[in-house]
A and B are shown apart, each in its own frame.
Chain A
Amino acid sequence: MSTKPRTLYEKIWDAHVVDRRDDGTCLIYIDRHLVHEVTSPQAFEALRLAGRTVRRPDLTLAVPDHNLPTTPRVDAAGARVPIADMESAQQLAALEANAPSFGIRYIGATDAAQGIVHVVGPEQGFSLPGTTIVCGDSHTACHGGIGALAFGIGTSEVEHVLATQTLLLQQSKTMEVRVEGTLGFGVSPKDVILHIIGVIGAAGGTGYVIEYTGNVFREMSVEGRLTVSNMSIEGGARAGLVAADDLTFAYLEGRPMAPKGADWDAAVAWWRSLATDPGAVYDKVVTIDAGDIAPSLTWGTSPEDVVAITGAVPDPMSFADPSKQEAAKKSLAYMGLTPGTRMQDVPVDSIFIGSCTNSRIEDLRAAAAVARGRHVAANVRQALVVPGSGLVKRQAEAEGLDRIFIDAGFEWREPGCSMCLAMNPDKVPPGDRCASTSNRNFVGRQGPGARTHLVSPAMAAAAAVTGHLADVRELVGEAA
């Protein structure tokens, strides 16, 4: 191995190469594998048909999240509430059967620790810095927030990892996204990543792994870093990384599956050594001034369609690229928006606070701070708050956040993916407009015909209580 300065990504990559083929393809060892009900049944089935086993069940953790309803899972008598949708019930049953039959740890639907895989991994200390983490879900990029090389894989790769604990991969290029300066009042990690995607574009990161650097990320909480890294995939990157530091270690220490005692100390020493070397070169560098980032949201149907809350719906003809002009016209027709309309004048019908991007305790605190003492506006038809895990839910309840939301007219739900994707009963009805803290504003993502505006938790709460897309800075005083 050469001694030239290396980036964080290159160090993690090098430490996981099992074999390097002549054509450059590498067999990469996978340290952690998260499994959920939607992308795993066909993989387990293929193993069974080929008479194969799971190589390292101890490095695999299964949690259902995508199609679980977020209504209570046990009735007053303590009995399991069956899932009405037969296909969803069948998928859940498949995971419930596959986990024990392949010897995999399983956090079930009624377990207090159940939640969205990407919330559960770091929360349990299963996800660790410097590890390779995969899951049959593109938002696995989330775990990069604690300095892990984490990325989504397809079902054939899920099968490959289950059987071999490795993947055949090509090394990615490296991109540094450096954000320096001071974030303005009311600007959250979600606004930072939306702004970044607006700058680099939805395909800007294709072929790259992004490392987020600069004082803004050093000073950002670990949960904020998870939010940022989560949406790396929306900028086209396979993964995002924020180097692990003292904040990360403090966040992970003592978590149930994290190393303990001497193991912990050895782990921390190794994690520290992974930071990008001075003089290491990235294939591409993007620099952003923190002062340029406003509370932001999307106006269209691609995550790159980002505008400041103080801005207006753009004119499709204002884009230089003719194909972007076409796409913007289609987006605006789908979104039911007219160029020139002030974003703050757009009324909303639905509010979703949740998803692996924004369902951790800090997110719920930020939303509750806006909802406190206010009420969901009369024109809002549904406003859901869906904690990312049972443990987040319990913590929020201990802090009284559930009361704030319920008193304000929000629904307080059980953990899961919920309205982030239209797979479980939580959906945005056709034509309705949703201020959502999730990560994708694709056509039909939250339900056929649903119109999504991606926002931060505080901005979602602001939209809920005003009934329209709103600037959170006008609701929460700087001194508050």
Chain B
Amino acid sequence: MNNLVKNIRWAIGSASLGAILLFGITSVSVSVADEDESNEHEQHEKYERGEHERAEQAERHSTKWKQDKVYAAECSECHLAYPANLLPAESWKKIMANLDDHFGENAELDKSTTLHIANYLQSQALPIGKRSKWSRMLRNLKDKAPTRITKLPFFIHKHDELSDDMVKNNPKVGSFSHCNACHKDAEKSMFDEDTVSIPNFGRWED
């Protein structure tokens, strides 16, 4: 019996060592796999959080940015009712205080309508000192209360690749002031590149 044990001792030892090693390796690989899985899970969660944040931001933008019937009706009698968030509050203040000389035209309104529109514009104006999708509009701004959207450095930069044939000499556009000639959702303050279509030229891709 002792001889038998002696003879197979080597085999038993190898088998036990093998078993221990095998167990060790398995647990290590399992834990590695676990880690991989938890990493993946974390990444996914992060991604989902990002998506969620983006969705929330979009919603905040759409719920925060309101259109106003009086503003839209009054101002669109002569031109596009430019989205309030394209200019800072100070700009709108200046514009509303000078309606009798509105870029060379008389655009006077009665007191109550003026007040209504002025309040609306103040509430929806482009915030200064607060990050938003529209903060880019304030880049390199020299005048703190600019009144012409088309003169904002950011606006000029964004449109500098366009030829005269596309805008000024384009009978269906004519001027940069006609946002909605190319940006179909301009009145809703949507200017994303994939919504741009220049009459007689088609989709614009940067």
- B partners with A: no
| Interface, chain B (partner A; CB < 8 A) | none
| Interface, chain A (partner B; CB < 8 A) | none
